[in-house]
Amino acid sequence: MSLARLCLFALLLCAAPPAAFAQAGNFELVKLAEGVYLARRTEPPGLTTNANSVFIINDEDVVVVDATLTPGAAREELAALRKLTAKPVRYVINTHWHDDHVMGNIAYRESFPGADFVAHENTREYLPTTGLKNRQMAMSPGGYPGFIKALRQRLEKNESVFGGPLDEKERATLASDIKIGERYMAENPTATVVLPTVTLRERLTLYRGARRIDILYLGRGHTSGDIVVHLPQEGIVVAGDLVIHPVPYVGNPQSHPGDWGETLEKLLALKHTIIVPGHGPALRDDSYVQLMSRLFSSMKRQVAAAAARGETLEQVRKSVDLDEFRKQFAGDSRVRRAVFDSYVLGAGLAAAYADATAKQ
């Protein structure tokens, strides 16, 4: 399987130091504020990843943001939550419809039958349609089975996508991608997809005892249904995959680079001291999100100008220059360069071109 084919499949899934507590499973609990914990995934960045979750422990109940890639992974995180509190989960908020944020919903429904599942109305529409098609593709021979086989071959041959032998980080990433893929194949074929029971178009506010939780749609970006969870009293923004560290994942056709930069500027305008990305560590300054915003603004501007000149997508791939951003996001890391090439230069430019030509 070529790198391009691997990437195409992956796109479909796809102050003081905080207190951190190691857990059984590939995540750690990080205390962000009183009663607010990040279940941060610790798998290395790769072509397929698991997503962060956030636990908001209120006076009488718990609100969970995002539910990971598989029911088993969600149960591991739920076991960690149980060590923090015996309060019931009342709401599970899905920031968008991708499997790594929703397939663990069933674990929460089984444990808390009275819980509601909250998402944007577009997520409610996508889950049983495009989401179902993507899951079927993931189970097909060209999906995870072929993906896992190709990665095993690279490990066995000690072969980097950049030529020559694998470095240590590439090897760790391949092993992690294989493990995630195998777990997806083992658990998700029979897993029930839990649809949202509560949807929003622009905003919804939950008052849970003394805590205020704002759920906001700020615009298109990673998908057309991205929502963020804002805790104004604590100054925390849970961004979902509008923010992904260390390299943004851009899908085609579900992402909208033409709007993403503006959406991030709205996110930055919210009162905050911490931004929690869908993947990666909690961010305690705005520099990375500002870099993402500049990337998408540059991509939008360059692609729109190229489309106005009548360039085809293949011509756009040659004329648009994002080399400086590649250096800033990827540096010398082979893994990050591969992810940037896949998600930004590959699917990202295609999605930006689709946005630009749709407006002509």
What average pLDDT does this structure show over 279-298?
98
pLDDT at 4: 42
Fold adopted by 3-130+191-358 = Metallo-beta-lactamase; Chain A (3.60.15)
User: What pLDDT, on a 0 to 100 scale, did the predictor assign at position 9?
Assistant: 44
- Going across the sheet that includes 203-208, the strands are 203-208, 211-216, 228-231, 236-244, 274-279
Report how far residue 88's alpha carbon sits from residue 108's, in angstroms, rounded to the nearest whole number.
Answer: 10
Reply yes or no on whether the pLDDT at 310 is more than 50. yes
Query: In the chain, pLDDT over 70 holds for what percent of residues?
Result: 92
Nearest to 139 by CA among 187, 172, 76: 187
d(CA 232, CA 94): 19
| Greatest mean pLDDT range, 3-12, 163-172, 248-257, 277-286 | 277-286
pLDDT digits (tens, 9 = 90+) for 73-94: 999 999 999 999 999 999 999 9
- d(C-alpha 78, C-alpha 55), whole Å: 9
pLDDT tens for 109-135 read 999 999 999 999 999 999 999 999 989
Judge contact between 254 and 221, C-beta under 8 A.
no
Secondary structure (3-state) at 255 = coil
d(CA 45, CA 338): 10
The arithmetic mean of pLDDT across residues 157-180, rounded, is 92
